[in-house]
Structure 1
């Protein structure tokens, strides 16, 4: 009959402390990476929300000003501008006459281009968005 002796290997306490410190370091790096990822998602969400707000307001201004052009006198050859500032965003509304001709070469009167340029600062960077459309001024004139 043979007797097997189990060898017990003793670890030095310093190696156990080193293993614990290494595990804490790895865990803390993972936690920092997770917090950074959550912060980036938050920053992106804020930027997207701000851009969506600006796009929505530009769309509203474009509809509003293109529908009310019949109340204003017909623009001459120059571009007219109006500046609005809301919530840190500057909206520049531009109305310029268009010189378009139909297939027969006849000029199309009372055609204008309405453009809105929004500018704002996001941190240190200047942001800009533009929306424009063509409008036939008599189209929205009420029937008399």
Structure 2
């Protein structure tokens, strides 16, 4: 009887492995991190929150983005700032390692002492290369 059970057991194990291999794949470095808030402004408080929220800026302003995340890391938090027809103005990334459900703030900023061209801009925030939030803003004189 033992010899008859062995082929069935082998077949069962092979089938289980095949089903497991077909399951959903997790991205390498997957994280439970999410962006919960994106704020823009001209200055930051010591806790990295925006001091004066704004969506319209002057050409010589330093433009700050305060990104709040929750979850566990590590993760790569990145920003891509674009102008008008997706001309990339700046790309920056930081490795963050929050630990738990307490929100964590990360600061990004752009500046151009000779002045930003007037127009519409777009900020994309990404976690591990996947878009996690966006924010539009304008530069006017």
Answer 1 or 2: which has greater helix percent. 1
Calculate the TM-score normalised by the size of structure 1. 0.37
Larger relative contact order (CA 8 Å, sep ≥ 6): 2
The TM-score, its normalising length taken from structure 2, stands at 0.37
